[in-house]
Amino acid sequence: MKKLALTLLAGVLFVSVMSSETGTVVAASEQSTVEVLLNTKKLEFPDAKPFQDRKGSVMVPIRFVSEALGGKVTYSKIGKVEKVGIKTKEHTVDMTIGQTAALVNGQKKDYGTQVILKENRTFVPLRLVSEGLGQKVEWDKIGRWVWIGNKEFRSTDDKQFKLQPLIDFEAYSKSDVTFRTIKDQKYTGIKVIKASDLPIKLQDGQVIYSIVLQSKNGEEFLVVRSTKRGTPIDFLVKGDFAKGRNGIDSMFINNGDKTGTGFYPVLSRLDKFQNGDYIQNYDWTKFKIKNADFIMIQDGDLQEYGVALVNPFK
């Protein structure tokens, strides 16, 4: 139970120390990019990127998205009229560049946004492509994500995430509570994930949607969007004690969609606590996020193995 006691102690001290330092809390700034996820996996666009036009429509380069959905793209030109088509075994979509309407399985539909040429790529409203090919589309205003298809999240239990033995993390074991469950039992090993694996479910529990770095009032924060509130994290630094962090309760944002956004400070006076001992002369201000190799997610529901994210901010 040592780990639970330390976590509770850190939480109490953390709120009392940080609430006096951060002042007024403001919501996270809206991101300017648009992500497209197919069956909860982010699509990587090699060149031209999706964007949101002035009418709010998400525009995507047609060939890449259509082929990811199993469609074949065709182009034709008669005089100055350029046409684009998408075809699968069950669906057909016919569009004309510069027009807002399209023929979807032979029926005319108007999407209110023109098919356009941009950066030598044909961009179309995402809803036209996905609905035309029989796919469900959902807009996530918090992450500025477009979900296509199902929302069956990958899990750290999946075979693609290999269990690594604890000996592989021996260089980070100076803090003896880091690799133990909340019941003070040793993990069987560690599952390592990358930022590109997000969103991901931790076993059968919470879903981690995103982890980004933000600055507020001159301080840096790790901003975590997930389906569980208050999950502690540890910054793992080779040859040093783990840097434990709790989310600042007063900064927490309930997104209203069964997810919340937590703010974790990069710098914290709590680094003076090392394995339960208070080190008076330890200089906690020297830590930089690039010093950490991993970000350990200390979810109390993980009873078998730990989950460590490769630090994307190095």
* Per-residue pLDDT, 262: 98
Give every residue of the chain whose pLDDT is below 70, as ranges: 1-32
* pLDDT tens digits, one per residue of 264-313: 999 999 999 998 899 999 999 999 999 999 999 999 999 899 999 999 99
Angstrom distance (rounded) from CA 275 to CA 3 = 9
* Per-residue pLDDT, 1: 45
Please state the pTM of the whole predicted model: 0.84
Q: Where are the domains of the chain?
A: 2-31+154-310, 41-148
Angstrom distance (rounded) from CA 219 to CA 9 = 23
* Per-residue pLDDT, 48: 87
* Per-residue pLDDT, 22: 33
* Per-residue pLDDT, 32: 57
Contact status, residue 251 vs residue 308, Cβ threshold 8 Å = no
Angstrom distance (rounded) from CA 267 to CA 288 = 8
Neighbours of 129 (CB within 10 A): 24
Q: Give, in words, the CATH class of 41-148.
A: alpha beta
Numbers of helices and strands, H then E, in the chain: 3, 26
